[in-house]
Chain A
Amino acid sequence: MNDTSNAQEAVLELGQITKEFPGVVALDRVDLAIRRNELVGLVGENGAGKSVLMKIMIGLIQPDGGTIKLHGAPITLKNPSDAIRNGIGMVFQEGSLVPNLSVTENLFLCHEADFRKLGILSLRSMRAAARELLTQLKLHIDVDLPVAEITTAERQMVEIARLLWLSKLYGQENPVLILDEPTTVLADSERETLFEILHELKDRASIVFISHRIQEVLENCDRIVVLKDGKNVTEMAASESRLLKIEQLMVGHSFSVDRFHRDGEWRQAEKEILRVENLGKAEHFQPLDFTVREGEIVSLIGLVGSGKEAVCRCIAGLEKADTGGTFLDGRKLPGGSPSAAVRAGIGHIPIDRRSEGLALMMSVAENVNLLVLNRLKAAGFLSPAREKKNAHHWVAECQIKTPSIGTLCANLSGGNQQKTVISKWLSSRVRLLILDHPTRGVDVGAKDEIYKLIRKLAREGIGMLIMCDTLEEDIGLANRLLVMKDGRLVKEIASSPEQKPTPQDIIGLIV
């Protein structure tokens, strides 16, 4: 790890950090050193473990193993306020300011006591201090405005200012600032300003910069650390690396379609299951058309915010589209009603299975049987025997590994929870299944089983619309790729078993 001669002292050093969540290893002995006055870029695909690593750095999550050293001394960070006391702070993607409080109030939240004069808060000195702080960051705004009324870029600056002020308050001269994808929400000009300021800040702080846009990481960071599947892949000086090389590292060296159980006998079916016509929703996506055929796996590709999630939500009836409609087997769906969509035969496997896919405190059997209770009745009442039979059937069919069908779903691993969600929809005989990141938070072995399950569904004629964690997965699983960017359907790419595009072909279309 310490390949360079350590000309610069490491401010914060993470060694062999390991973090395990039920059924999945999020971080596997990850090292990360942050040196004085340095801008480190941290890149990796979704699910590579970047966020978990950041949360460990600010004490939001406790690691299962490994050491954290601050200025060479081991330290335990109990919580975020403990972290900021030690000069480590983070600007969250979604922002952490209180919208209805003013800029000044947000800056000094919980530390107003420092501005007390004779026991009374001096608003005037607070304002003056706020202006001074923001001027340092070249931000000239009315400090009395509520945060809800300033732009996202300005909010980020206010958050950075707050972190700088807090670390100064606690006597930290070289704080570590972590920025979690700050540029995804910014316009080009705002991005430039942000980088200008970050470069200036390097004189008195170390910055960890997370981004999906590798180009800007290359241009602005001193060093780049690449994470993949919760492991360190490599780290290098930004000057030594090229875009293509990093992309390859992120995606993995050996892109192989075989991992996804390519189905050699797959043929494009004629019968279409889903037809989307002129479907549009203001502020989310422009009107678009596409179809999904029987047994076909269609993947929606795009960055977060490209509108692909909203498209799926509209089809599943969770949101109402503004224009157009969806047709299942030729019949128009009312839209905006999940129960109508479910009755018509649309299943939805949500990204967050714990909060949207399962009743965690109920048994596997109860979760599997949820949609088919009416079929499990005898003489008008639920029949325990039929319930058991149906649950056993699907547990075996989907290879759910559980001690018994009465086990609570909360006690299953991520992969088996996901299989439970899938089997719930299967038993209801769906026609179209929307899979929102089906392998999110699932370990490698279970991923493989889920791929097999998806293939099996396709053979049974179920049409699928999927969004995956990695491009590799999208390409490997899908028969057709729909690329979305900024709310538009920009391209449709065939991805037949014989001829798969490579991730490199596609990444350029997305970003």
Chain B
Amino acid sequence: MAEAKQETKRRMTRKLRIPPVYVTVALLVVVGLAFYLGNPNFLSFYNLNTIISFSAILLMVALGQMCTILVGGIDLSVGGLVSFISVAFILLIKPIGYIAYPVCILAGMFAGYINGLILTRIKIPSFIATLGTGGILTSLAYLVSPRPVNLSPDNYHVVDTVVNGSLLKVSNVLYIGLAVLILYFVILRFTSTGRNIFYIGSNIKMSWMSGINIMKTRNIAFMLSGLGAALVGITMSSIRYGGDPVVGTAYVLNSIAAVVVGGTALTGGTGGVINTIFGSVFMSMLDNGMNVVGIDQYLQQAILGVMVIIGVTLTFDRTKTPIVK
């Protein structure tokens, strides 16, 4: 009797194991439909275009965030980094023009490298390490420019030709997002470093015992996060023709939420690029949909919070982690 009961229980749990991506997609459809019923314009071409553009931006930082989460860490400094790069980029265009792009990208990766070093050399958990560096970067952003700074119209061409341009009627932001997507996909799928990110996140002790270079891999994961954040800083400033020292704040939680709602486990080792695409689209759609439907501004954060919790409840396999920190 008891055995039979246990057997059915076992069978049930086996049956319920649906890949998280499908759950995210289902959630996406359900919530999208709800917004459509609230306001048919939600599915208008113009609005969908907006959602996709915002998804592309969130995706860049979320993919970087995903690398740090996959390797078993987290990057809370992305917000500070986006803000800092945002103002630094605008200020740098004036003296150095197009060179601001590579400089800002390298600066972002350098910040990620520092995060990695604090984790691997000083051995401070990434949660604390990046909380610290995030604070430093936020301060730096304010020190560089306490108020939002606008790009002088003489230099508009620098951003118009790259980020704000379009090809075949599609905004360049989408192409940049797509390029970043392909880059991260290739790194994670086709390089040993990418594979090592998964091994370390899945079982760090085994990885160490198997001779994987944990220090290098973790540093690279954090550099990838810095890269994503830097690209978002550049893109945001380009779209707005100006830098803003608070523009990054929302990206800390939104990037983590996008990764986790997509089904990447916070414990590391499982998940991937595809998951994060849907997670990013979901988060951007929520943000946009609530405005389209006309939900009260003060209520939006609460609904966002509820949806994130629901999303994670459905996608995160809690059976494998008896203790959740």
Contacts and interface: CB of A to CB of B under 8 A. Distances in A.
A316 B206 CA distance: 13
B6 interface: yes
Interface of chain B: mostly helix, strand, loop or mixed: helix
Contacts, number: 73
A353 B28 CA distance: 39
Contact of B191 (A340, A355, A381): A381
A382 B202 contact: no
Contacts of A366: 195, 198-199
Interface string B1-20: 01100100000000000000
Interface size class of A (residues with CB under 8 A): 20 to 34
B96 interface: no
Interface stretch (A227-235, A246-254, A367-375): A367-375
A359 B202 contact: yes
Nearest to B193: A373
B186 A381 contact: yes
Interface string B159-181: 00000000000000000000000
B297 interface: no
A361 B3 CA distance: 27
Contacts of A342: 210-211
Given A358-B203, A362-B199, A381-B190, A339 B6 contact: no
B270 A370 contact: no
Contacts of A316: 209
A87 interface: no
Interface string B179-210: 00000001001111001001100110111111
Given A338-B211, A339-B212, A361 B320 contact: yes
A64 B191 CA distance: 45
A473 B313 CA distance: 47
Contacts of B150: none
Nearest to B14: A411
Given A65-B2, A381-B186, A355 B205 contact: yes
A348 B210 CA distance: 8
Contacts of B198: 359, 362, 366
Contacts of B6: 64
- Which 4 residue pairs across A and B have the least CB separation, nearest first? A342-B211, A339-B211, A359-B202, A381-B190
Given A65-B2, A381-B191, 13 more contacts: A64-B2, A338-B209, A338-B210, A339-B213, A356-B205, A359-B198, A359-B203, A366-B195, A366-B198, A370-B199, A371-B211, A381-B190, A382-B189
15 contacts: A338-B209, A338-B211, A340-B211, A342-B211, A355-B203, A356-B206, A359-B199, A359-B207, A360-B202, A362-B198, A371-B210, A371-B211, A382-B189, A382-B190, A410-B320
